[in-house]
Amino acid sequence: MSSRRCPRCNRVYSDPARFCPQDGSPLVEVAGSAPASDVGQTSAGLRTLVRQAALKRGPGMEKGSTLTNQLLDQRYQVGKRLGEGGMSYVYLAKDVTNSETVAIKVLTPKLKEDRSSVERLRREAGLAMRLDHPNVCRIFRLGETEDGLIYLVMPYLPGELLSDREVRSGALPVDFGVPLLVQMCRGLQHAHDLQIVHRDLKPENVMLVPDDKGPGGVRAVIMDFGLAKERRQEPEVAKLTATGIVLGTPEFMSPEQIRGKGLDARSDIYALAIVAFEMFTGQLPFQGRSAQEMMIARLRGKPKLLREVKPDLPGRLEQVLNKAMALDPGDRHATMAAFAEALEGAEESGVFARLFRK
């Protein structure tokens, strides 16, 4: 499989990307690209690689990227780096005061000078500290070192990302996927009850944590409320996400988010429905050769029908996801609780239908 580079920002993407999701520039092929056997083969896996590549930057020795084996703030013994996102690095660490294993998200030093990035991270901490639900990742504390590194401390959650499970296993069966979606709905309903909208739901922001009581022995945990927004905003918060400024992941944005309109819980319902579609089919319901084309498709067109891609899936599940992906928010499920109830009914109808056919 060939890799392609953006000549403007130098980010590298795997096929099938043709345009840079960051700035829309046409991509050029990179010489000596890895063969297809070196990367995930499913279409969902390819899109995951593209999305992850969009977050990565070139090598550098900035302080936030070299904390392994250091004692952070005289309290956290930093271990290996677990990953990095658009504005942070994440490390495994040990709290030396109580021997608890934690994860630490460190704001990249070159971004900490950007006041809006700092305010967004502080807001993430402030919101997530209010969350207390088994299907939502908590934030323990927000800290700042003497030399200016800003960091968040979170529980370390062993397991794998939903995106990695999709790459490893392909499309997920309904009797496994629906209970996971219901768990996500419950966690998000908890957030919505606190007037918090996530705004960046995607498989990379869902962790599957080992849990004997969960479907397939796992529990879904919603991660990264970094783009989360309170529906009731203070003026200074509103400035960070003013109308016309689009934040989020293009493949999963609701139409109103693409337009830069005000968002509520129904935007998360739309995004979670796209996550569900990809979980069960390995494809996205809207197609395009670039992130921009996929966003335009959501504004102008209709999603693929679930059973166009996989005819053996329950018809009721198709109806539920179609409703959740309605262009007009008023035509979607009113709450995450209602979406969860509809999903549970769709799974049961599918089970009964299969039994009847037998």
Catalytic residue numbers read: 200
For residue 275, give every residue at least 6 positions away whose Cβ sits within 8 Å of its Cβ, in sequence order, or none.
162, 181, 184, 201, 202, 203, 206, 252
Whether the CB-CB separation of 255 and 327 falls below 8 Å is answered with yes
- Comparing C-alpha atoms, which of 151, 206, 165, 166 is closest to residue 182? 206
Whether the CB-CB separation of 313 and 319 falls below 8 Å is answered with no
Owner of token pair 């239908």: 353
Residues in the chain: 358
Instruction: Tell me the C-alpha distance between 217 and 206, whole Å.
Output: 15
Tell me the CA end-to-end span of the chain in Å, nearest whole number.
42
Provide, for the chain, the percentages of residues in helix, strand and coil under a 3-state DSSP scheme, each rounded to the nearest 5: 40, 20, 40
Q: What tokens appear for 165 in the block?
A: 């499970």
DSSP string, 103-126: EEEEE-HHHHTSHHHHHHHHHHHH
DSSP string, 311-356: TTS-HHHHHHHHHHT-SSGGGS-SSHHHHHHHHHHHHHHHHHHHHH
Q: Taken in order 279, 283, 284, 290, is the CA torsion positive or negative?
A: positive
Instruction: Tell me the C-alpha distance between 152 and 317, whole Å.
Output: 38
